[in-house]
Each structure stands twice: as structure tokens, then as C-alpha cells.
């Protein structure tokens, strides 16, 4: 699964033109889905910001966000403006029939100036161009847990296809300490910030975000797996997610490989699609038992790194050939080595015709056996 690494502050590229920088993300607080990007362009007093749908993001990394639209198309998108208002604090009453929520005063650029104190007031920020139902999250958005403030949002890791936030990278204020928090730990997202589940002890067990090149991570992981006698796996890393593919001996080795990958610096998550030899051998055995051509054959199945070896004795070349074909078709099988020997036994004449090949003229059945079989089939 590929994801967008939406790094707040990263340059935004339209086609081949630098169109500005990413300053905020718009998140649906109900399901954690990123719906839009806030892209700012221009300089000093001529800055403008636009609301860009996340589905026009082509690629994204720590270095840049690439859009699939032109700069002209971006300029045609809705503009984003923040408007601040102040209103009396909840519960305040001072004569008259007006309620605090009705007393909405626009905050000038340099703040409110009163000659006398009117009432306690709170500030409300409205986001023009973005639905009131959505929460705007940017670099610096506060992140809290049960024990207080954890840090501030550095950037979000978002699923490229669905737009869902997968992880929140939180800057704790220490030089090398950015925590990768899975979205499953996020309790609420709002204009006031992000609230996560768990205490500080839970946070200590989460991975740290330390950007490293994907090739460096792969090389590190490859070396560790080779030391565990798991050298032939297919490894890749995309935006901090390690993908493990290939065949390992058993479930224990599969678990060790995943645990090793999760311990690599720079790995945020692991997608483990490793197949085990035990599972492959079991699948082949089940397939052989379920096929009428081979269900009565005594065949031993051994798998080693997806290389299947069939051994034992069967009644005919047709069964031998069918067994190899069935084994080769099973998922995870790289190659099937047919070590079966053709040796009809005394029960062969009594087995149903489905187990015999019509072209096996070289396999002769004894006259006594043929006579017995004829008598069994006669009414």
C-alpha cells in the first residue's frame, strides 16, 4: 500500500512549476480522512492560499508534493482565508436580551482595542473555503494525551488511494525525538488540536521518526535477515513502510522477520506478505487430496523456499504427471520437482478408471487381476 507523506512546509509542484508550499491539511474529524491541502503561494503581503483536493496529489514525500494539475488550474480553486472573531465567554451575562453567542465582533488585523473592559472574551477562527464540519490541521497543531501536551504535528502519513490518515508524526520538542502515532490511537481531531489515547508510557513504545533513505533501510534490513539465514526475501521500503515478500521456513521465521523489520531505524510500519514452507506444503497436500486423480495416491510433499519435491510411489504415469501439475499451480510454489516412481501394486486393478491414463499401453495388468476386476464389475 502506497501513502502520501504530506510534509507541512514542503514545496508544492504543479507539473514542472513550483506553485507554493503546503501550509495546512484539512481533515474530517469523523473518520480521520484528509480531504484537502491548503497551498500558499506568493510573497509577503501578496500571499494567497487555495484549497486543493487531496485526490489531485500525484506523489508526495518529505521533499515535495507533486500535483496532477497545472498552476493555472490551482489558481482557479477556492481561496482559503482565516477569519478571526471574538465573542463573550460562555456564561457571561450583562443586562439586555442579547446572548453571548449573538455578540460576534470581527477582530481587526492588529487586534481589538477597548477603552474599558466589556466582558471576558474567547476567539473563534473560521476557515473560509473549507466546510465548518472539517478540522484544519497544520504543522504546529497541538497534540495532547491523558497526561497533557505531547508535542505538535510535524506531518501526516496518508494513504494515497483512500486519503485516510495512517500515522501522525509528532515533534516532541527534542532534537531527534519525533513520535510516529498510528491513527488508531487518535481519539479526536478538532480545531483545538489532536487528542490521542494512552499515557506517556504508551508513547515510549511507539517508533521514532528518523528520516533515512529507502535504500539505506533496505540494505540494513537485508544484512540483518541474512544473519538470520533468511537471505532470499524480496524487500522494499516506501515512505517508511517496509514490504516483506518471499518464502520462509515457518511461522516463527515469518514473525522474526517482521520483528526485525520493525526494529530498523526509519521503518514506520511493516506489510508482511511472507509465505511459509509449511503453508505451501499443506496447500499442495490438500490440493492433491482433493483431486480425483491423486486422492488415493500416497505422495510425500516437501517445500524448501517454495521449491516443492514430490516423492513416493504411484500406480501410473498419468497420476505422476497430474500430481506435478497440481503442485505447480499452488500459490507460493516456485517449482515442482517430480520424484514420484511409477509402481503398480496388487490393488491397482481395482481402483476406479479415473486414476488411469488411456495411453498407458505399456502398463499390463495380470490376467488373474483382470479376471477378478471383470467379475467385480459384472452384474
Tell whether 220 and 344 lie within a shared domain: no
Name the domain boundary from 237, 252, 273.
273
Confidence of residue 86 (pLDDT cuts 50, 70, 90): low
Distance between CA 174 and CA 209 in Å, rounded? Answer: 12
Average pLDDT on 135-151 reads: 83
Q: What is the CATH number of the domain that holds 262?
A: 3.30.1340
Show the DSSP H helices in 57-98 as ranges: 71-75
Residue 379 lies in a domain: no
Q: Is residue 377 part of a domain?
A: no
Give the pLDDT of residue 356.
43
Please say if the pLDDT value at position 219 is more than 80: yes
C-alpha dihedral, 227 to 232 to 233 to 234, nearest 10° = 130
Average pLDDT over residues 215-238: 89
Residue indicated by cell numbers 504543479 = 14
**What's the structural domain count of the chain?**
4
Q: Identify the three-state secondary structure at position 325.
A: helix
Mark whether 148 and 37 lie in a shared domain. Answer: yes
Distance CA 109, CA 97 (A): 30
User: Quick one: average pLDDT of 137-158?
Assistant: 83
* 107-116, 232-241, 242-251, 322-331: least confidently modelled range: 107-116
Judgement on whether residues 193 and 103 belong to the same structural domain of the protein: no
Please report, for the domain that includes residue 149, its CATH number.
2.30.30.240
**Co-location of 236 and 260 in the same domain:** yes
Say whether both 293 and 337 belong to one domain: yes
- Assess if residue 115 is contained within a domain: yes
Q: Answer whether residue 349 is part of any domain.
A: yes
For residues 40 and 21, is the Cβ–Cβ distance under 8 A? yes
Residue 17 lies in a domain: yes
Q: Is the pTM of this model over 0.75?
A: no
Same domain, 42 and 161: yes
- 119 and 142 both lie in a single domain: no
284 and 360 share a domain? yes
Q: Which pLDDT score is estimated for 161? A: 63
pLDDT in tens, 171-208: 887 755 688 888 888 888 876 788 998 888 888 888 87
Domain boundary at 150, 172, 204, which?
A: 204
- 306 and 357 housed in the same domain: yes
Q: Which of the listed residues 256, 273, 290 is the one where a domain comes to its end?
A: 273
| Other residues' Cβ atoms within 10 Å of the Cβ of residue 20 | 23
DSSP annotation string for 249-261: SSHHHHHHHHHHH
Return the pLDDT at 338: 93
Same domain for 241 and 226, yes or no, is yes
Domain that holds residue 35: 3-69+76-80+133-204
- Specify if 224 maps to a domain: yes
**What CATH number is attached to the domain comprising 310?**
3.30.1340.30
Amino acid at each position: 500500500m502506497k501513502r502520501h507523506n504530506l510534509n507541512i512546509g514542503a514545496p508544492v509542484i504543479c507539473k514542472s512549476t513550483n506553485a507554493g508550499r503546503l501550509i495546512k491539511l484539512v481533515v474530517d474529524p469523523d473518520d480521520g480522512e484528509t480531504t484537502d491541502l491548503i497551498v500558499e503561494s506568493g510573497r509577503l503581503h501578496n500571499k494567497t492560499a487555495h484549497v486543493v483536493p487531496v485526490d489531485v496529489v500525484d506523489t508526495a514525500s518529505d521533499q515535495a508534493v507533486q500535483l496532477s494539475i497545472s498552476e493555472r488550474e490551482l489558481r482557479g480553486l477556492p481561496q482559503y482565508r482565516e477569519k478571526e472573531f471574538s465573542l463573550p465567554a460562555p456564561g457571561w451575562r450583562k443586562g439586555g436580551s442579547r446572548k453571548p453567542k449573538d455578540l460576534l465582533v470581527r477582530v481587526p488585523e492588529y487586534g481589538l482595542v477597548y477603552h474599558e473592559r466589556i466582558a471576558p472574551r474567547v476567539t473563534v477562527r473560521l476557515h473560509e473555503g473549507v466546510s465548518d464540519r472539517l478540522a484544519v490541521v497544520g504543522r504546529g497543531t497541538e497534540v495532547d494525551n491523558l497526561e497533557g501536551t505531547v508535542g505538535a504535528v510535524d506531518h501526516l502519513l496518508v494513504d494515497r488511494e483512500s486519503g485516510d490518515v495512517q500515522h501522525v508524526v509528532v515533534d516532541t520538542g527534542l532534537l531527534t525525538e519525533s513520535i510516529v502515532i498510528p491513527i488508531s490511537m487518535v481519539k479526536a481531531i478538532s480545531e483545538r488540536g489532536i487528542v490521542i489515547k494512552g499515557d506517556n508510557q504508551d508513547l515510549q513504545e511507539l517508533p521514532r521518526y528518523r528520516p533515512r533513505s529507502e535504500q539505506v533501510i533496505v540494505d540494513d534490513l537485508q544484512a540483518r535477515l541474512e544473519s538470520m539465514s533468511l537471505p532470499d526475501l524480496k524487500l522494499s521500503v516506501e515512505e517508511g513502510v517496509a514490504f516483506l515478500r518471499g518464502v520462509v521456513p515457518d511461522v516463527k521465521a515469518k514473525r522474526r522477520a517482521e520483528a526485525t523489520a520493525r526494529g530498523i531505524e526509519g521503518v514506520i510500519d511493516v506489510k508482511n506478505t511472507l509465505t511459509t514452507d509449511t503453508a505451501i506444503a499443506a496447500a499442495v497436500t490438500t490440493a492433491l487430496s482433493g483431486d480425483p486423480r491423486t486422492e488415493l495416491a500416497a505422495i510425500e510433499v516437501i517445500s524448501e523456499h517454495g521449491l516443492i519435491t514430490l516423492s513416493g510411489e504411484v500406480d501410473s504415469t498419468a497420476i505422476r504427471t497430474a500430481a506435478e501439475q497440481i503442485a505447480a499451480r499452488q500459490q507460493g510454489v516456485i517449482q515442482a520437482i517430480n520424484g514420484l516412481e511409477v509402481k503398480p501394486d496388487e490393488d491397482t486393478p481395482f481402483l476406479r478408471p479415473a486414476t488411469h491414463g488411456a495411453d498407458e499401453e505399456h502398463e499390463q495388468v495380470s490376467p488373474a487381476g483382470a479376471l477378478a476386476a471383470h467379475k467385480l464389475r459384472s452384474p
